[in-house]
Structure 1
Amino acid sequence: MKPMENAGWTPLPHSDEDLERAKSVPDTPQTRAPTYRLAWNDEDFMTRRETRAVRLQLEHLKPEMILAERGIRSTVVMFGGARLPEPGGPAWAAKNETQKRNLEQNSKYYDEARKFARLCSQQSAGSYYREFVVVTGGGPGVMEAGNRGAHDVGAPSIGLNIVLPHEQAPNPYVTPELCFNFHYFAIRKMHFVMRAKAIVVFPGGFGTLDEFFETLTLIQTGRMERVPVILFGRKFWERAFDLDYLAEQGTISPGDQEIIDYAETADEAWNIIREFYGI
């Protein structure tokens, strides 16, 4: 006999139904006790050190399920500095005149990031926004420019925000239904690279360097398939680090530098991706 044919069979209650039932119990010292709360609805329990493994799993699972339900198969990742201003805007992060001057000079990359995101999103439209979807860290600067470029052409884009000591609010151009928030850097970085068909990196600081070098390591060690890795601004990056020096010292293999391409404009970067994939 099938379950539905058994008159005594009833489906298991959904979690949200159980939560409503828990609210309707008598108000007694027992029902007010923290131990009486449903485990998954007990914030004190869920944030204990011992439940860290559960939280790690949930941070991976929630975006994974939502992106899969949306049908998003591949992304173009845009890394870059939160402090780069829009051209003509204030260099709000500058601590001195030198920083102010350099941030204003590098503000040209805001426009290039915005244009690059438009090019990606126009390609993405041909797949009903399942391929080449723009993803950023969700914050200001280059991240805002990336989400804004997608927004310019009516395309969805993803923002992977993270809780920081200084509050990082999502920029207003992230698609609200694709705006995520993370506690764990490691899980956030997994989501950046899991669907990546290209990684583009604009001038930035420690966070940008961390994301960039982790991507290089994954490709170098074969833990991630080879995809275009494009640095905007050769002059900036050749001052920031010297891969030729690392090769000369023997700490990387000759040819590891070839993982990277350089571009100065959005068109140059997009052409690298087009040639790589034959699109």
Structure 2
Amino acid sequence: MSKEPTRPRVYPSARATVAEAQCQSDSPQTCSPSFRLAFADQDFLTSDDTRAVRLQLEWQKFDLLLSRAGIDHTIVMFGSARIRPADIAAKHTETVQQLLAADPNNPQRQRELQYQQSLQQKSEYYDYTRQLAARIAAESEQAFGFPATVITGGGPGIMEAANRGASDAGKPSIGLNIVLPKEQQPNPYITPEFCFHFHYFAIRKMHFLMRARSIITFPGGFGTIDELIETLTLLQTGRIRPLPIVLFGRRYWQRVINFEAMVEEGTIEEKDLQLFRYADSVDEAFDHIAAFYRAHPLTNGEALVE
């Protein structure tokens, strides 16, 4: 059972003090940066010297808000931001086809068409993600033995599909957005009070795992593979408690990462192949998680990471 949410304490006097300090500009002394309250001094808080404080704040804000909401168990769903619904993918392909028709010998547009056609073929994974997320949100307590909340990277594509599936089921979901050179916008299906924004990848990675009860990776690129391999490494080295890892889309994953070749080369052991399972359907992925927790019931309050 989830904990009863607690209301955050508010300190209006602190806010008033900040506002008052910002208005004191009638003397050189009060205008000096040294006079600013430390917690109201943006230059100070964003300096190299206070990086440890910023890391702590990024850790604490998310942890406090989820704890207050009584969210203890999450199912992490990773995948490409570029995999879109079938209708949108088809429009992208059609646009490139029109451009190529006007300039049929353009090699860049030929490659772009191949790229868009490949993504269009993968649009089925958007639907699979949405369906699986909806089922997890609606049935996890009965099937897994605990209520699980879907959590994603907060962006478009597979991430959007997962948040959308939870929304379809009438359940909340979490999005962990990250500051990027090309600004990332949160997808509209994240529950607003659980839409977070991070500067540090490291803290974001830890939050993905702290409450995770399963990791499901759909076809994706560097970011998805980074999260997958890092989790497998933590499992392999015993740094986190065992949990079910599902690689959705056997053909994609076996083509992109040749784990068997790593066994043959001696860089991992054959037993390491048991750290994850492949799935090609919503039922297969869901049933693997359910079977894992039937065999290994979760103890209340059990944390994944020490």
Structure 1 position 201, deviation (Å): 0.2
Aligned to 1:230: 246
Aligned to 1:109: 125
Deviates more, 1:132-141 or 1:40-49: 40-49
Alpha-carbon spacing, 1:61–1:27, altered in 2? closer, same or farther (3 Å):
same
- How many Å separate the matches in 1 of 2:24 and 2:39? 18
Amino acid across the alignment from 1:268: E
Which consecutive aligned stretches of 4+ in structure 1 deviate over 6 angstroms post-superposition? none
- How many Å separate the matches in 1 of 2:253 and 2:201? 24
| Residue aligned with 1:200, SS | strand
8 Å contact kept, 1:125–1:155: no
| Residue aligned with 2:151, SS | strand
8 Å contact kept, 1:116–1:270: yes
| Residue aligned with 2:166, SS | helix
- How many Å separate the matches in 1 of 2:22 and 2:257? 58
Is 1:154 the equivalent of 2:170? Answer: yes
Aligned to 1:168: 184
8 Å contact kept, 1:134–1:146: yes
Aligned to 2:277: 261
Is 1:189 the equivalent of 2:238? Answer: no
Residue-by-residue CA offset, 1:128-182 (whole Å, 9 max, x unaligned): xx83100000000000000000111110000000000001000000001000011
Deviates more, 1:177-186 or 1:130-139: 130-139
Identity rate of aligned residues, in percent?
50
Q: Which has the higher helix share?
A: 2
Aligned to 1:39: 38
Structure 1 position 36, deviation (Å): 1.4
- How many Å separate the matches in 1 of 2:16 and 2:140? 39
Is 1:61 the equivalent of 2:41? Answer: no
Amino acid across the alignment from 1:218: L
| Residue aligned with 1:151, SS | helix
- How many Å separate the matches in 1 of 2:49 and 2:24? 29
TM-score (norm 1): 0.90
8 Å contact kept, 1:114–1:149: yes
- How many Å separate the matches in 1 of 2:179 and 2:89? 24
Aligned to 1:98: 114
- How many Å separate the matches in 2 of 1:71 and 1:253? 39
Structure 1 position 31, deviation (Å): 1.6
Aligned to 2:82: 83
8 Å contact kept, 2:150–2:163: yes
- How many Å separate the matches in 2 of 1:96 and 1:232? 26
| Residue aligned with 1:90, SS | helix
- How many Å separate the matches in 1 of 2:12 and 2:157? 46
- How many Å separate the matches in 2 of 1:124 and 1:69? 21
Structure 1 position 256, deviation (Å): 0.2
8 Å contact kept, 2:154–2:160: yes
Aligned to 1:208: 224
Structure 1 position 35, deviation (Å): 1.6
Structure 1 position 14, deviation (Å): 4.6
Amino acid across the alignment from 2:135: L
Q: What is the number of equivalent residue pairs in this alignment? A: 266
Residue-by-residue CA offset, 1:105-124 (whole Å, 9 max, x unaligned): 11100000000110111025
Aligned to 2:261: 245
